[in-house]
Structure 1
């Protein structure tokens, strides 16, 4: 009878684990309304980049992405477009590669430099060396977006999640989550959709 109860309890624990929202035990992370701490990470040009470098910014699109994930690759042109659209309005893209290059060789710093040059990235592409930043944010996927608003209190998280609702085909996108969030933020309006489920590859630790 005791054995039956033990296996019943074990089955219950395992079933609950299947519904854990966060698949990465390293990650806790921010929620909407939290203040994001700054970081200093190396860009593909060899320079260190921090949010505090952007004195005139109104906010930031911090996007965790990488070289190797097919989802991240599918969104590269759209990320470039987001930067071109919103950087001039004070909300630049800051891309961060969170993957461990010892686990995913295609995400090494040299490969990052190569990819940035090939695609003509218009934004910083930073390496999360030591994987210290992505756990603070709570990123679990590539790509994973965090919209920050620069305020007197600090960089407040306003949106977390996916770029839009169709990674496969930009022409068939119906819900432009990030664009809608940035437009609302810049207009001083309430962001209607503050969180969505990030669709992409799990971060390699």
Structure 2
């Protein structure tokens, strides 16, 4: 079932909620770990969702193309009901290079997804580093390819790329032209 993100939790200008989550690299990661970057893209995602799989390459390219951007994937899905979203499978995806971003983290208690108001996968939140505090500047889709098999009208991720470039150039990005669309987050019972 396709859902659209519609967060009531964070508004533009709000600080990024703190987190401390295990990563596929074997380390614990907190929001402060990314303080050396000018921008932070937090994407609530998973392994099994076809909407996310369609954006793997886009996320990988964004992480590769911008030295001043941290791309952090956070998987909150219930792995008991969706075994492909287990931490072990996350590690496999990263080891194969399917997911090659700054950090891929597991939110098993789902408290981080709740704090951000994440609704679907993928659900991207772009933050600007404002003197050591990350502030939300863009919450919306990567591009106008809304179904997994759709091709965007321009280069993949063009809307997110424009927002990132605005932030890295010291400008405010244009508001998101639309919400992200994807699979619902698989919440614990």
Question: What range is the shorter-chain TM-score in?
Answer: 0.7 to 0.9
2:28 to 26, 40, 48: 48
User: What secondary structure sits across from 1:61 in the alignment?
Assistant: strand
Q: TM-score, normalised by structure 2?
A: 0.86
Aligned equivalent of 2:172:
190
Q: TM-score, normalised by structure 1?
A: 0.80
Q: Output one character per residue of 1:28-84: Cα deviation in whole Å (capped at 9) or x when no partner.
A: 421211111221110012200112113421120101111000010011011100100
Aligned equivalent of 1:76:
56
Aligned equivalent of 2:73:
95
Q: Distance in 1 between matches of 2:78 and 2:129?
A: 29
User: What secondary structure sits across from 2:54 in the alignment?
Assistant: helix
Aligned equivalent of 1:177:
159
Structure 1 position 115 matched with structure 2 position 77 = no
Q: 1:43 to 1:159 in 2, by over 3 A?
A: same
Q: 1:81 to 1:156 in 2, by over 3 A?
A: same
Where does structure 1 lack aligned partners over 5 or more consecutive residues?
1-20
Aligned equivalent of 1:9:
none
The CA RMSD over aligned residues, in Å, is 2.1
Larger Rg: 1
Bigger share in helix:
1
Q: 1:55 to 1:136 in 2, by over 3 A?
A: closer
Q: Distance in 2 between matches of 1:194 and 1:78?
A: 17
User: What secondary structure sits across from 2:41 in the alignment?
Assistant: strand
Structure 1 position 164 matched with structure 2 position 143 = yes
Q: Distance in 2 between matches of 1:198 and 1:46?
A: 29
The answer to whether the 8 A contact 1:42-1:48 is kept is yes
The answer to whether the 8 A contact 1:160-1:195 is kept is no
The answer to whether the 8 A contact 2:5-2:179 is kept is no
Tell me the CA shift for residue 198 of structure 1.
0.9
Alignment length, in residue pairs?
180
Tell me the CA shift for residue 171 of structure 1.
6.1
